[in-house]
Structure 1
Amino acid sequence: MGETITDPPEEEPGDTVSGAALDLVLRVGELLLASGEVTERVNESMLSLAVAYELPRCEVSVTFTVISASVHPGRGAPPVTGSRAIRRRYPAYWRLVELHTLIQEASIGLLDLEEAHDRLRRIKRSQPPYGSPYPAWLAVVSLGLIAASSSLSMGGGPLGVGTAFVATVLADRTAALLGRRGIAEFFQLTVAAAIGATSAVLVIAAGSPGNASTIVTGAIVAMLPGRPLVASIQDGITGDLVSAGARLLEVFFIVAAIVSGLGVTVYAAVHLGVPIDVRDLPAAPVTLRPVAVLAAAGVSVAFAVSLAVPRRTLPAAALSGALIWTVYVLGRGLGAAPLLAAAIGAVIAGVLGHVLARRRHLPALPYIVPAVAPLLPGTALYRGMIQLNGGEPSQGVLTLIGGISVALALGAGVNLGGEFIRAFQRVGVGGSGRGARPAARRTRGY
């Protein structure tokens, strides 16, 4: 008697994967990364949404230019994977705040999937009640105000402050025109830096070398990459090395473009007989002046406006700018090296920024990025180019390296402030406390 052959039982289907939920996760991650958020926070936010809308066993990968999410239904069902490329970045910190509010509300069940998609669409298109808190013209003027305030903090007079403002606005509009014609951003920045340096050369030729140095310092500070610098250091600290390397390379090319524009202009001026002398550059401040402290606060506020932070964070930007400048000057007065004084000031400003961000349940970048603006090394870059073209190439290289080192210390310092807060506070925005970073125990350095 033969045995009856039966088919094996069919495997039960796996969990259902919602295409709309996966699309929301990818779109939110794309907009966060394009708006300037760091990789770790993008990763956390995407996973929070995946849990909120019940995507089973979701894995997320975030790099500088591509994000992907893969969902594994299980029980033999094929995984579902989606990805999006970030081709254009438009830093807008008000958008970061609105996106994090969306994520928080979705995580506690206040938004269904359709409502979340509708809000995301409104945020992306800047539809009421969402949108930039400032008119478009103020974003341009804010760059000029960064330059003017920086010039004032370095001791510039009315001529230096006014010229720095006009030169920076002219440089920005020229770069925008080149951008509309398809010229690469590297050459846009090179031309913009050359315009700022040319305005200083003209002032020197007119017999006012002291004002010239504050003009070019202000113009350079308005172009220096404070935002990607802070994000790159944070990505590196948290172990996202691919994104950190890409962001640092972005910073390198921006600085290289600025240095190229400065170098060409200074080289031409020296060979045309313009009396450019490194002794005319302002010395590092060692005593506090009330005007300089107010100017430093103005630099941070203007930088915050250029990043389109929410208006309610502007007082914190002013406080952070004044604080980091005060600590830096006091440190220099006590004999600390510029690198150490800048790092200490950045750590203190970073602690303040992260505390305020956690208490107000907002992302940290709108608080910590504007804080570094007053100490960005515009004078060091200008001094280095003068030395390179004035017969002191070795000293010029050392000066440029010193300026870049200060910039890196600023980025590391504000992020170190956040690590201090994380060490003593268990939870934060979006669950970003000590328990939310399992990768911190990845290898223990081995």
Structure 2
Amino acid sequence: MMSPKELIEVALLAGEIMLKNGAETYRVEDTMVRICSKGNLKFAESFVIPTGIVATVADEENNFLTISKRIKNRTIDLNKISLVNQFSRDFQKHEYSYAQSVKILNDIQNRKGYSNMVTPIAAALVCCFSTILFGGEIVDALSAFFVGLFTQAILNILNSRKLSYFISYIIGGFTTATLALITVNFHLGINLDKIIIGSVMIMTPGVAITNAIRDTIAGDLLSGVARGVEAFLIAIFIAAGAGIALSILK
């Protein structure tokens, strides 16, 4: 049986992995409380916002322990969220030691996502079919394929340098509009607007918007508003980057 200190450390690590990879606030809180409920604790509570986690537990003698964690970098990796969610359920069914639990969570945290060779191709396909969805011609879709390919490659480079993602989105919007203009000027595409709209789909904050709505519905108003503002700012920076390119080059 783990001590309260060990339980709260495992719960905090699990919550940190989930929050860093795009999980909703209520899901992170539920996972942490589920892990803490395995021990003989009199009280277990967590408070989560998009940029931080606070967890508190109390043993049978009313000795309280509180620990917090600041979250600075966030990305989207639904596979890691699923793995931690499954771990929390397995944790309740089986007797894991502290060392075993930390090892499992660290393995999940260090798990590599898709390679930098795969993500540009996937992004290119998204841009290609999104352009068709928005009414573009076949040549527009082919242009969007190459625009998405190069834009995602540049975004991968920027993310590897751990730049602010707002700066990355400005550069991403600028790159998308610039490449779209080049394809149209060389008659590789016809409809500039369709190519740009289809190509920016790889940067649109769909998960952030969804989480903002789900957090708000779940009653986490602070997190819902914060995620909504984040999504709004991301959209503004993408548009700003594209607008700068169009105003300079068109």
With structure 2 as the length reference, what TM-score do the two structures score?
0.88
Whole-Å separation in 2 of the counterparts to 1:85 and 1:187: 21
SS at match of 1:52: coil
Alignment of 1:40 onto 2:13: no
The answer (yes or no) to whether the contact 1:106–1:112 under 8 Å persists in 2 is no
Task: Please show how residues 168-207 of structure 1 align to structure 2 within 5 Å.
Answer: 168-179=148-159, 183-206=163-186
Task: Please show how residues 358-437 of structure 1 align to structure 2 within 5 Å.
Answer: none
Q: 1:222 to 1:182 in 2, by over 3 A?
A: closer
Alignment of 1:259 onto 2:245: no
SS at match of 1:242: helix
Alignment of 1:226 onto 2:206: yes
Alignment of 1:249 onto 2:199: no
The answer (yes or no) to whether the contact 2:21–2:77 under 8 Å persists in 1 is yes
The answer (yes or no) to whether the contact 2:41–2:60 under 8 Å persists in 1 is no
State the aligned residue count: 249
Task: Please show how residues 104-123 of structure 1 align to structure 2 within 5 Å.
Answer: 104-109=89-94, 111-123=96-108
Aligned-pair CA distance for 1:125: 1.9
Query: 1:124 aligns to what?
Result: 109
Query: 1:440 aligns to what?
Result: none
Task: Give me the identity figure in percent.
Answer: 22
Whole-Å separation in 1 of the counterparts to 2:115 and 2:160: 20
Task: Please show how residues 16-55 of structure 1 align to structure 2 within 5 Å.
Answer: 17-55=3-41
Gaps of 5+ in 1: 1-15, 275-446
With structure 1 as the length reference, what TM-score do the two structures score?
0.52
The answer (yes or no) to whether the contact 1:199–1:215 under 8 Å persists in 2 is no
Query: 1:161 aligns to what?
Result: 141
Q: 1:202 to 1:139 in 2, by over 3 A?
A: closer
SS at match of 1:68: strand
Gaps of 5+ in 2: none
Q: 1:142 to 1:19 in 2, by over 3 A?
A: same
Whole-Å separation in 2 of the counterparts to 1:86 and 1:155: 40
Q: 1:55 to 1:165 in 2, by over 3 A?
A: farther
Aligned-pair CA distance for 1:154: 2.8
The answer (yes or no) to whether the contact 2:134–2:194 under 8 Å persists in 1 is yes
Query: 1:63 aligns to what?
Result: 49
Q: 1:216 to 1:98 in 2, by over 3 A?
A: same
SS at match of 1:81: strand
RMSD: 2.4
Q: Which amino acid aligns with 1:92?
A: D
Whole-Å separation in 2 of the counterparts to 1:117 and 1:209: 52
SS at match of 1:69: strand
